[in-house]
Structure 1
Amino acid sequence: MDKIVSKIAALGVPGLVFLFAVGATGLAGAASITAALAALGPGGMIGGIATLGIMGLISEAIAEYGFDAIFKAVVIELYKRGEDPESLFMKIDNYPVSKGLKLKLKEKIKSLEKEQVKNQDNITQQ
């Protein structure tokens, strides 16, 4: 049952976004579809189709793992790719998420920093 609900949610979000975009164009028929797809993404209609596909993947991941887990994984990946912790803290402060999640994300980065310092100390001692 949970898998079925997550698949419906994954298909539903892009569909709802597309439906809203079509309604917002004020056009009818094929012109409304073309205008909606062009408005949804960079690069015209192809970009709009790609944007809807990406929305489907993201919404499926959120349905399966939860928003907090996805957000945390993205922040950890940014840190692992060499993003400066201070710039990550600034980004986190600007995210439209709860204060509690912001604190959790910042604590995770701090723990990753401590772990990295500990690993570097172990390497230099060997």
Structure 2
Amino acid sequence: MDEVVKKVAALGLPGVILVIAMATSGAMGSTGLVSTITGLGGPLGLVGGLAFLGLMTGVGDVISGYGIDAILTAVYEERKKKENLSSLRKEVKELPISENLRSTLLNVLDSGSKSVDSEDRNGPKTVEIIED
């Protein structure tokens, strides 16, 4: 068991995702491994599954470098520029995160920058195109 744990730990976040996916699928052995990776790839199959696990390596490195608080704050700061604030607030309230992080994200959403449903929105504008 220690040897398996060391190998999965060496893989990092993709290894953890793979172990969880294999445990939930119920498939074991080499066939189970291939079918699990194929399942992670969705419509892209085995190649998509391998790409997904590779992407998770990069995402895990970024999250560990900056911290989940900073990443989520930046994501919601950007999303509030383009999406409805009430739907974003509802989404944050339903996230499985700590109350401290939840209140931080709600404060980010309530801060003063412009958003889709801000009060100073004037609605559609008429544009006249004049050809010479």
TM-score (norm 1): 0.70
Matched residue, 2:15? 15
- Work out whether 1:110 is the aligned partner of 2:110: yes
CA RMSD of aligned residues (A): 2.4
Sequence identity, in percent?
32
Counterpart code for 2:46: M
Q: Which residue in 2 is equivalent to 1:60?
A: 61
> How many positions carry a matched residue from both structures?
106
Structure 2 gap ranges (5+): 1-8, 121-132
Q: Which runs of 5+ in 1 are unaligned?
A: 1-8, 121-126
Question: Structure 1 10/95 Cα, relative in aligned 2: closer, same or farther at 3 Å?
Answer: farther
Distance 1:46 1:88 in 2: 33
Q: Aligned to 1:96, what secondary structure does the other structure show? A: coil
TM-aligned CA deviation for residue 77 of structure 1: 1.6
Match of 1:85 in 2: 85
Rg larger in structure: 2
Secondary structure of the structure 1 residue equivalent to 2:97: coil
2:27–2:33: 8 Å Cα contact kept in structure 1?
no
**Structure 1 residues 66-106: Cα deviation after superposition (integer angstroms, max 9, x where no partner):** 011111111112112x1011111011011111111111111
**Structure with more contact order per residue of length (Cα contacts < 8 Å, sep ≥ 6):** 1
